[in-house]
Amino acid sequence: MSRRVVGVLGGMGPEATILLQQKVLATVQANDDSDHLPLLIDMNPQVPSRIAHLIEGNGTDPGPALAQMAQRLEAAGATALAMPCNTAHHYALAIRGAVSIPFLSMIDLSVAKAAETLKPGDAIGFLASPAVQSAGVFEAALSAHGLRAAWPADGPRMLSAIRSIKAEGPTEAACRILNAAAQELAEQGAAMLFAACSEFSLMAEQLDVGLPVLDTVDVLAAAIHKHIQRAVGPPKALRQICA
C-alpha cells in the first residue's frame, strides 16, 4: 500500500498546532519512532487574522493564503489535509477547491461524532470564538444532523480569553471565563459542550461542568490516525501477535 501522510495547515496558533501533534502522538501505542504517524506541517503564523477578517471587518481575506498552503502541502506529498483551527474552517471551501486530496473537516467530523450520542433537537453549547458564531462555521453540519447551537451571551469576553491565551498561554483568568461560559451553557440546556477553539482545547480538561465535553482537536487527531492507519495496516504490536 502507498504511504499516507496528512498535511497540516498550521500556525493558527502555533500552540494549537503543537497540541494536535501531541494528540496524534497519543493515538499511537508506540514501541519505536517508526510506529508514529507521518505529518507534513506548514506552521504558518502569518496567515491573515481570521478574527480581523470575520469580526473586525478590516483584515485581508485569509482564504487565498490557506488555499496556497493546501496546494503546497499536496505538492509535497500530503494525501489528506487537516487544520487545527475551528474559525479557519470558514474558509474550507477555498481549501477544498484548491486541491484534489480530501480535507478532514474538524467541523463536520466533530458534529457527526456528537450526533452518535445526541438526538435531533438537542443543543450543543459552544466554547468558541465569536467569529465561529458570526460566520456560522458549524451551521450546515448541525442542521444536517438536526442539532442546535447554544452560545454564551458575552462574545467579546470569549474573544478576550482567546486573545489572552494566544499571548500568555492558559491563565487563571481565561480559565474562569471558560468555566463561567460552560455553566451558562449548561443552564441554557445544552446536552453537550464543544471545546471548539483550539486555544480552549489547551484548557478543555480543566473544565468543571457536569456535561460531556467534546474537544474538536481530539476528533481531528482520531481522523488523522484513521486516514493513515487505513493505508499502513494494523499497528506493529498487532502484527507481531499475529506473526
Contact residues: a second copy, CB under 8 A: 3, 11-15, 17-18, 21-22, 25, 30-47, 49, 72, 75-77, 163, 166-167
Q: Which helix (H) or strand (E) holds 225?
A: helix 216-232
Q: How far is the CB of 26 from a second copy (least distance, A)?
A: 10
Residue closer to a second copy by CB (options 41, 192) is 41
Q: How far is the CB of 49 from a second copy (least distance, A)?
A: 7
Q: Given the residues 98, 124, 178, 197, select the one marked as catalytic.
A: 197
Residue closer to a second copy by CB (options 46, 210) is 46
Q: Around Cβ 91, how many Cβ atoms within 10 Å?
A: 26
Q: How far apart are CA 93 and CA 87, in angstroms?
A: 13
Q: Which residues of 16-55 are buried (b: 16+ CB within 10 A; e: fewer)?
A: bbebbbebbeebeeeeeeeeebebbbbebeebebbbebbb
Q: How far is the CB of 8 from a second copy (least distance, A)?
A: 8
Residue 242 is a catalytic residue: no
Q: Given the residues 85, 115, 158, 221, select the one marked as catalytic.
A: 85
Helices 172-187 and 155-168 cross at an angle (nearest 10°) of: 150
Residue closer to a second copy by CB (options 46, 153) is 46
Residue 95: partners with Cβ closer than 8 Å, 6 or more residues away: 9, 66, 67, 70, 81, 83, 103
Residue closer to a second copy by CB (options 77, 136) is 77
| Identity of the residue numbered 241 | I
Q: How far is the CB of 158 from a second copy (least distance, A)?
A: 17
One-character DSSP codes across 135-168: TTTTHHHHHHTT-EEE--S-HHHHHHHHHHHHHH
Active-site annotation, residues: 85, 197
